[in-house]
Structure 1
Amino acid sequence: MSLRISNLSVPEILPPPGISMECEPGSVTGIIGPNGAGKSTLIKALYGRMPGATGSVCLDGTELTAMRPAEQAARLAVVPQDTSSGGEYSVADMVGLARSPHLGRFGLFRGEDHERVARALAITGMSAFAERPVNRLSGGQRQLAHIARAICQDTPVILLDEPVSDLDIRHELTVLRLLQRLARQGRTILVVLHNLESAARFCDRLVLLSEGRLVSQGPPAEVLDAPTLATHYRVRARVGRDPDTHALRVSVLDAIEDADDPHARTSSPFTSSQKEETP
């Protein structure tokens, strides 16, 4: 199921003409950008959690706002940045709530629903915590529980806002590989990431936001280069290929101090001899 975003704008955060992009089934699209770029705002606006947002969000040509809540929930799952919800629910019960859009008229769990809960917990490594209350999990464990919930919801589109921010490197690798695998099964994945090397390695396309505007979108090799990182992240970096993973590798060398010049953010500090080209 394709996700098409047209002129999505939020007052004072994502100014007009807003953000336009398309995410296709079978792909992982990563949203990147410096702090304050509007990444989380974009995700919230996509599923109707930003008052005043304007523009269009369509799933296979149908406006999201034209769908009933149950229809939306059957097509679109969200892993928010704030994963503090869940309270006294056990992990298994919270994950099981994701089956609601797929239950019959009496809302009764079937064997298939129990199997999907167990499978979602297993592939996120959360089976051992199935009976633990969500409010007794660590931040990283809560992230994994909410990812399990999104998987259990079994939707063709999944939105994730910084889903690996509290995870150690092993679990981050596990989750990003899982997102790749879900995409290869035909799902549409849109994920906010801070780690540029992870974004370059695991995303098929990147969307770079800066100061609320879409700066660039395309394959990682077209979006990530040293001048772009200098202009929008204000760092001096070297971009090349990792000899083992063959993905882009971003080596940050130093921060760039902004001058008083109001154009400092849009001018590259590199001389031609200093620019690193992507092979």
Structure 2
Amino acid sequence: QYNTLDTDVGQNVSPRRSTVIAALATRLVWPAFRMAAHLVYEGTWDNYDTQSGGGWRRDNMFRQAWMPSFSMFYQPFSWLSADAFVKRSYRLPSFNDLYYSLMGNSNLRPESAFQAGLSVRARGEAGVMDWSLQLSPYYNRVSEKIVAIPTSSQFRWTMLNVGLADITGLDVKAILGFRWADWQARSTFRYSFQQALDHSTEGSLTWGNQLPYIPLHSGSVDLEVGWKAWMLAWNTSLCGERWSRSANTEDYRLAPWTLSDAALSHQWPRLRAGVQVRNVFNWHYQLVQGYPMPGTNFLFFVEYNL
């Protein structure tokens, strides 16, 4: 793989990146059990028209990483299954991360992570009803995590490394559906717990704090009711409190918010049309500090399949 970046913006270092990726994989399969192992190698060479590209100099232009992974899948019953994985991942900062005008940081270091996860799924049917439930706990330990945060000006963001982050989480997804004659209904519940802690420098003001813009709790509820070609849908999304800086103080706190949308549509053989009401209750909220999102608004849509 070969990548280049050219621009007429001043101080362009004209970076070029050559990447070689090789993989070795093996897999064992039994009727109810599977195992797989992978080993991926990535070697990257960066070069510039100048002596250095910021923090990426010619004396460190070669980077390499070995990324092993192991996964298992087990299905003891037709309605129950589970899979687990352990792997190491590695990510070089992209040219946008490094050199994008007014945002890039040419001193970024590569990000690496140890990841482990488990997912348990159950599903079933009973008459006109079907259901499914999925629980997915996980743990990530990320070194030099690459994040984007605003600078002193809200209109300018920059890329930074977080020296060490420990991320523990749980994703829950539950679906309940009904189908009877011309009627159908489906509800989907999602919940996410994610504790992403900055463990870069012990004893610092940010040690043990939640990483910027990552809520501890979030989730959504989707409801759909259909009759023949008509569909009525409702979605409610919830986001817990967040912080715009690693210093989790009241000055940087973003309040939790709840957002609800509703939609009504009709389906023809090759045409779908409808109306959507966004932010039904006109909730005032911010995804990013200093950038308020729209209040109640409407969307009319028509989709045609060729």
Specify if TM > 0.5. Answer: no
Higher CA-based Rg: 2
Greater relative contact order (Cα < 8 A, sep 6+): 1
Q: TM-score, normalised by structure 1?
A: 0.24
- Greater fraction of residues in strand: 2
Question: Structure 1 or 2: larger helix share?
Answer: 1
TM-score (norm 2): 0.23
